[in-house]
Structure 1
Amino acid sequence: MKRRLLFLTTLIASALTLTIPSVFAEESTADEVTLLPELTVTANKKEQILSIVPVHASVYDAEQLQDEGVDGLSKLEGKFAGLSFQPFGQSGVNSPVLRGLTANFNALSSSTLLIVDGVPTLTAQGFESTFVDVDRIEILRGPQSTVYGRNAEVGVISIFSKDLDGEDKTRLGLGVGSRNKKIVQAATSQTLIEDTLYASLSGEFVEQDGFIDNITTGEKADDKEHQNFSAGLRWLAPENTDFELRYRRQGYDDGAMLWNSARASERATVASGTDSYNASVGQTISVNATHNTLSGLLFNSVTAYNDFKDDVQQDTDFSAAEALYIGRDHRLRTLSQEFRLEGNIGDSEWLVGAYLEGQDHDLTTTSKNYFGLAALKAEQTSRSYALFTNWSVPLRSDIRFITGIRASHDEVKIAPTNSDAKSEMWTALTPQLTLQYSINIDHMMYATYAEGMRAGGFNTVSAAANYSSYDPEKNQSVELGWKGKLLNKQLNYSLAVYHMDMKKMQVMAMPGVGVIYLTNAAKATSEGVEASVAYNFNENWSMETSVAWNKTRFDEFVDGSNDYSGNQNLFAPEMNGHLTFRYDGVNGFSAAASFVASRSVYLDAANTYEQKGYEVVNLSTNYAITEKTKISAYVNNVNNREYDAVGYQNGYVTVYSPPREYGVKFTLDL
């Protein structure tokens, strides 16, 4: 496995190294029928052409992902090289891992920011989105805190709903799959008043049996049922003003997490007598207002509200007796307001903005052990304020200087039920400097220095921690990147090399039995290489591949008598990537085959427990029966590879990897 990934990385790097210099002088042709399409990405909160934006970014069509059985964020592993998720095993909760950095689930923050239609998700809880009626998914790698704020420490994942542009359409979808999977989807977009008012509605119901046998109940322990709903309304007001209202709701009615004891003798079999469930509900709403002035200025206002109710109970003794279990009843609410003003001065582009945010979290954590039932209850509130600016200035025709800075102030308070209230405040400056050089019309390179930040907070998971605070985590990053087109624009390439230094790194410390808390006890260094290539062989055949190599090590990390300095960071694979071939034929027929691989990851700071590395093959095909009907089929994890996380929760739990899944979906456009 190591040799195969190393060979693939070497092959890509060698091809770029040997080929790029020889083609810089080539004349580009515009009459090729196999040209790759120009994609756009919303970097720096402005739409830009992907091939020339000075950041390592990727974008995927959401409908294509759905046809391939990728129906949520957690399944994006293998599509975006370098992106993975902690093996947590609960629907609606995803802790992203990017460039070797991630966040502990209990921190109520993430190292990679999720934005859905302008609504930020700042926690692993609720870090999910359905792809029904979604246009595209974008990912920006590297610190983005200057423009996007805290928790964009190493990147941003943005999800955009389909435009309300007056194209009236309705789509129905029905699907079935393995483990009695059932999918019902519906989406419609309609013009209510011509050139003035547009609306959209969409919904999805997904049900699937589990694969973990519960020998106590005789049923599957991990059955799943999800309900998703979204609505949009767009008003083109007079005088160049555009209002867009979006609402989303995601509901979960699941059984247990994909957990079992790390010492279990039989895979995917538990004997739980305690009821385990996930009854979480997430809702988001946003109002996006844009006004173009006659003088060329663009004013934008985004008001967003995110409400996630994390309602979970999980058996932890995995026996018929009700001896041990944990539960959460968290209500996480975030209200944010952002104002932006942007314009041009000659060939220079500028943006200034202000951001205000309020969080109100009600936190109840319960745990049952041999000594009885314990509950920790607290209310945590926070207020955040920020001013930011970003400028893009041409120094000459082929060199552009891009810079920005963000000044932020955060105040966090916690009021435990049985303890004194506490408060902390932090102020930070996060700058970014980029120098972009256009080698010629088809090739460019860039160099970036950027700083990222992840929010601080309070410990709420252990009574022994006494609700102690921890400071924000800070990241200083240097990145060099190359992008371009080769072979008469049939091939796009992107290569990024980076080095990051993390200060005040937030880590989980366990200095004694029963004492668990987050603290700023570590420093770390992360360095890596990311490469991607997309190539159209001809009108029918295309290939895409991407590989990410990362090395993240603790420079300093002392936990009581344990010294973890030099160890690998948790949940961070040293390498992952994919190789995908696609065929697009006549009459709407297409097929794709993808090889996805990842190195193993450690589950603890001591590097004792790990999740296995894996190589899986995914297949998909689509066929247009008529102009308005289509049938899609997919098989993910064809080789039924098992890559369980054995030793999660400091050696106590195994989190099972999902088995092979296949499905067929029929869609009808009305």
Structure 2
Amino acid sequence: MPGAIEPAAGAPVDQAPAIAPVAQGEGEIVVTARRRQENVQNVPLAVSVLNSDAIESTGSFNVAKLTQLQPSLQFYSSNPRNSAANIRGLGAPFGLTNDGIEQGVGVYIDQVYNSRIAAATFDFLDVEQVEVLRGPQGTLYGKNTTAGAINITTRLPTFEFEGRAELSVGNLGFVQAKGSISGPLVDDRLAVRVAASATRRRGTILNIFTGSRVNEQDNLGFRGSVLWRAADNFDVVLTSDYNRQDPECCAQIYVRTGATQRPLNRQFAALAAAFDYEPPSTDPFDRRTDLDTPLEAFQEIGGAALRLEWEIGPGALTSVSAWRFWNWGPSNDRDFTGLPITTISANPSRQNQYSQEFRYAASGPRFDYVLGLFAYHQRQRTTGVQAQGPAASRWLLNPGNVAAGSGGCSPPTANACNPSVLNGLRSENDILLSTTSLAAFGQVSWKVTERLTLQPGLRVNYDKKSGRYEALVFTGTGAALQCNPPPASSITRDQCASLPPQSYAPRFSDWNISGDFTVSYQLGRDAMAYATYAKSFKSGGINLAGLPLDANNNPILSVQTVKPEDVTHFEVGLKTEFWNRRITLNLAGFWSEIEEYQATVTNGQLGVLRGYLANAEKVRVRGLEADFSARPTERLTLYASGAFTDHEYSRFVDAPCPPELSGGTAAGPGQAASPPGTPGGISPANCDISGQWLPGISRWAFSGGAEFRHPLALPGGEGEAYAGADASYRSKFSSNPSRSRYTDIDGYSIVNLRLGVRVPEKWDLFAWMRNAFDSDYFDILATQSGSTGLVVGQPADPRTYGMTLRLNF
């Protein structure tokens, strides 16, 4: 039967320890990192592996939770659409949603590329194993894996009847149920598997405006698969899945304020006083807000895939055909307050993607190789609406010279004092995206001697993107807003500055070549060293979130496209096992430089800061990683991982300025900017942040844990009692594209505990506590637009606890 369907003989995945970056002791962990099955310790690549036991026992039920076990993996999300998975700090621009730009970390589920990072926010469903591949994977995993790939494998149908059921309950009304059943339909030729999961949890933040708790969990998932063994050397696997989320989410709440360059009476404190407004709490860990716009984060994702595995000659031919869809129905409160500033902010989106991959993988005494072809097409439409409310004029408009303490409403004739100027102003956006990608790739492993292997790889890729962005804007009276030519009326000018109408149709196409070359040397039976050089790229793109305007209110078309990222990567590594393979220690050092790094920038036309994407000249990320695991006795399992990451913008001279330098009078030629945080000061048009930190990267990150087991006689057979602990730490990191003293997130540590009894392969009952010491920390921080100085954020989950019962039958 095809080798890609079943684990290699003598390498039972389920014998390996439940929590370990690599295998040790009793068994091997089999991975498909090089598109063929092999022991992870034989792969010259930095890869971490979590099997199903590790995922389930540690509560890592989605990619975001994996970050507590994998120090080099970061995941940031203000809502499912605006999410980013980064590996070694690289992967996606920070803090901006733009559908025309792609991720740098590929998410693959059963060999199917998922273009929407929102897939990473869903619960794992019937997952067998997760591999986190660190470093560029452009040869075998495609164009958009400049930082790495997350390779998720689900369980296949079996020809023996089996079932699994799991129920978890906890505080905050947490209930999670999972189940799967598998077995033959026709002897040893046809088997089927079905699985389902559902998760509910009350929100962690109280919205006093509605009386409801927001940032809740409401997930539902179904998966079905059929395995047809058409011949002894030919397998067909058909899978289909549907996943839905419908929580009241996602609130970002008051954290603090910081001085900007905006006039003092135009900053948050004075504006709030003008409305007699106070946040429900100035302590974000009170977890209270008063957002007055409905919060919705409805999304559904799913599709079908057909995989054919045919053993031909020395290898296996694989065909993977897939269709995926994603529907997104959001509503956000863009002003982050209980004031009617922005009353509607919603960008519902619908996407379909189609992909086809052919791959032939073969092994021989001297040569292993993989050859393949890949085709991909994506279509997406987003229809967005943004509307301003009666508080928008006072909050957003600049009335000129105003009296101190007036809240920006003196003289009373200023537009800022007239609520009708912006009240009801409404932008209706229609955004289309079409993407086509074609590729041919190959990788060869040449075993020069029994110890020395040379592995070159090459991928040729063609990308074509086209889009349309059209924003029609209407005033509160329903009249269409006209901004070109520049209007004479100050009211119309202020309306155009707030929500400018615009229309453009960007196009992008390009050929790219990725390549890598790896040398590996077997130092001994249980030790291997390797070195890799890679040239990779992330596809260029188009800006589909609106463009800055010129003096005549026309879109600046020169920034409608973004160049591809050009990555140069070096890596050396050592993989070792000791003490009869009971101890594993893997080390890696890497150095990545990216030219034309896709970064968030801003433009201050008409006094409005509009974010879009452009290219920074160069960034650099380098570091060291270590993975350790041990089983000193049959009763004790240990693991630890650590990462040191040094990172900087090597050259970025026209970057957006941090909030403490924004909001003031634009600096003229030769005019110096005021010191940071000078109310009413002079703001530079842009800032040179060369040498500064990249966002989202901690210099130090660690994780570790242990599990101790003691034999017990239990109902159902010989069992064991066990206790386990997992801990993680991240040092301070920046949460703003340009580092700001207001948005650094302090380092934090998390400890998770569990205690239970089980009969292996039959049942497991355990109590768990996550964030056991109730650490207060933020997932993300951001600033309110308009340079008011308001900093908002998402507090991470508080302490949670509960019990889980798991049954196998």
Global fold match (TM > 0.5):
yes
- Mapping for residues 389-400 of structure 1, pairs under 5 Å: 389-400=442-453
Q: Is the 8 A contact 1:284 1:304 kept in 2?
A: yes
1:346 offset after TM fit, Å? 4.2
Please give the root-mean-square deviation of Cα atoms over the aligned residues, in Å.
Answer: 1.9
* TM-aligned CA distance change 1:343 to 1:221, over 3 Å: closer
* Partners of 2:754 and 2:91 in 1: CA distance: 31
Distance 2:791 2:238 in 1: 45
Higher-Rg structure is 2
Q: How far off its partner does 1:642 sit?
A: 1.2
1:405 aligned partner, one-letter code = L
Q: Secondary structure at the match of 2:119?
A: coil
* Stretch deviating more after TM superposition (92-101 or 654-663): 92-101
Q: Partners in 2 of 1:262 and 1:460 — Cα distance?
A: 30
Distance 1:226 1:114 in 2: 20
The CA distance in 1 between the partners of 2:628 and 2:352, in whole Å, is: 40
What's the counterpart of residue 657 of structure 1?
796
> Runs of 5+ in structure 1 lacking a partner?
1-33
1:167 aligns with 2:160: yes
Q: Does 1:545 align with 2:640?
A: yes
The answer to whether 1:179 aligns with 2:172 is yes
1:565 partner amino acid: S
Equivalenced residue count is 635
Whether 2:612 is the aligned partner of 1:517: answer: yes
Per-residue CA deviations over 1:623-659 (Å, capped at 9, x if unaligned) read: 2269743212211111111112333567643122111
Q: Does 1:581 align with 2:706?
A: yes
Counterpart residue number, 2:732? 600
How far residue 508 of structure 1 moved from its aligned partner, in angstroms, is 0.5
SS at match of 2:796: coil
Which residue of the partner structure matches residue 462 of structure 2? Answer: 409
SS at match of 1:462: coil
Q: 3-state DSSP class of the match of 1:317?
A: coil
- Distance in 2 (alpha carbons) for counterparts of 1:460 and 1:329: 14
- 1:91·1:252 contact (CA, 8 Å) conserved in 2? no
Deviates more, 1:533-542 or 1:302-311: 302-311
2:621 to 521, 526, 534: 526
Task: Determine which of 486, 506, 510 is the counterpart of 1:422.
Answer: 506
Closer, same or farther in 2 for the Cα pair 1:197/1:603, shift >3 Å?
same
Structure 2 residue 283 is the aligned partner of structure 1 residue 266 = yes
Is 2:375 aligned against 1:280?
no
Residue 511 of structure 1: CA displacement?
Answer: 2.9
Quote the residue 2:73 is aligned against: 83
- Alpha-carbon offset, residue 514 of structure 1: 2.7
- Residue equivalent to 2:7: none
Matches within 5 A, 1:229-244: 229-238=222-231, 240-244=233-237
Name the amino acid aligned to 2:601: A
The yes-or-no answer on 1:536 pairing with 2:631 is: yes
Of the candidates 417, 423, 430, which is equivalent to residue 377 of structure 1?
430
Aligned residue in 1 for 2:104 = 111
Which residue does the alignment assign to 1:441? Answer: 525
Between the aligned partners of 1:367 and 1:460, the Cα distance in structure 2 is: 16
Task: State the AA in 2 paired with 1:590.
Answer: Y
C-alpha spacing 1:420/1:100, structure 2 compared with 1 (3 Å): closer
* Residue 128 to residue 220, structure 1, CA distance change in 2 (3 Å): closer
Deviation at 1:453, TM superposition (A): 2.0
2:309 is aligned to: 290
Which 10-residue stretch deviates more, 463-472 or 358-367?
463-472
For the Cα contact (< 8 Å) 1:564–1:605, is it kept in 2? no
The answer to whether residue 756 in structure 2 is matched with residue 622 in structure 1 is yes
* Alpha-carbon separation, structure 2, partners of 1:97 and 1:205: 27
Q: Assess if the C-alpha contact under 8 Å between 1:556 and 1:565 holds in 2.
A: yes
Q: 1:571 aligns with which of 696, 703, 706?
A: 696
Post-superposition shift, 1:259?
A: 0.9
For the 8 Å contact 1:146–1:451, the answer to whether it is kept is no
Bigger share in strand: 1
Q: State the 1:612 CA deviation.
A: 2.1
| Mapped partners of 1:573, 1:122: distance in 2 | 26
Q: For residues 593 and 763 of structure 2, what CA distance do their matches in structure 1 show?
A: 52
Cα offset, 1:412, TM superposition: 0.4
Instruction: Please list the CA deviations of residues 12-49 of structure 1 after superposition, one character each: whole Å capped at 9, or x if unmatched.
Output: xxxxxxxxxxxxxxxxxxxxxx8253111112211111
Distance (whole Å) between structure 2 residues aligned to residue 326 and residue 115 of structure 1? 31
Cα separation, partners in 2 of 1:252 and 1:92, compared to 1, 3 Å:
farther
**Residue in 1 aligned with 2:63?**
73
* Residue from 473, 481, 484 that aligns with 2:576: 484
Q: How does 1:93-492 map to 2 (within 5 A)?
A: 94-104=83-93, 105-108=96-99, 109-238=102-231, 240-263=233-256, 265-267=282-284, 268-293=287-312, 295-324=313-342, 325-344=344-363, 346-369=365-388, 370=392, 371=422, 372-417=425-470, 419-464=503-548, 466=555, 468-492=560-584
- Against the structure 1 CA distance between its residues 421 and 304, is the aligned structure 2 distance closer, same or farther, given a 3 Å change threshold? same
Structure 1 residue 322, shift from structure 2 partner: 3.7
Looking at structure 2, the residues matched to 646 and 358 of structure 1 have their Cα atoms a distance apart, in angstroms, of 34
- AA in 2 matched with 1:83: L
For residues 93 and 60 of structure 1, the distance between their equivalents in structure 2, rounded to whole angstroms, comes to 26
The CA deviation at 1:213 is 1.0
The Cα shift of 1:345 comes to 5.3
Q: 2 CA distance for matches of 1:622 and 1:472?
A: 50
The aligned counterpart of 1:17 is none
Q: Give the secondary-structure state (helix, strand or coil) at the position aligned to 2:633.
A: coil
Deviation of residue 92 (structure 1)?
7.3
In structure 2, runs of 5+ residues without a counterpart are: 1-23, 257-278, 393-421, 472-502, 550-554, 656-684, 712-718
2:28 corresponds to 1:38: yes
Instruction: Give the secondary structure class of the aligned counterpart of 1:292.
Output: strand
Is the 2:430–2:470 contact (alpha carbons within 8 Å) kept by the matching residues of 1?
Answer: yes
Structure 1: which amino acid aligns with 2:707? Answer: R
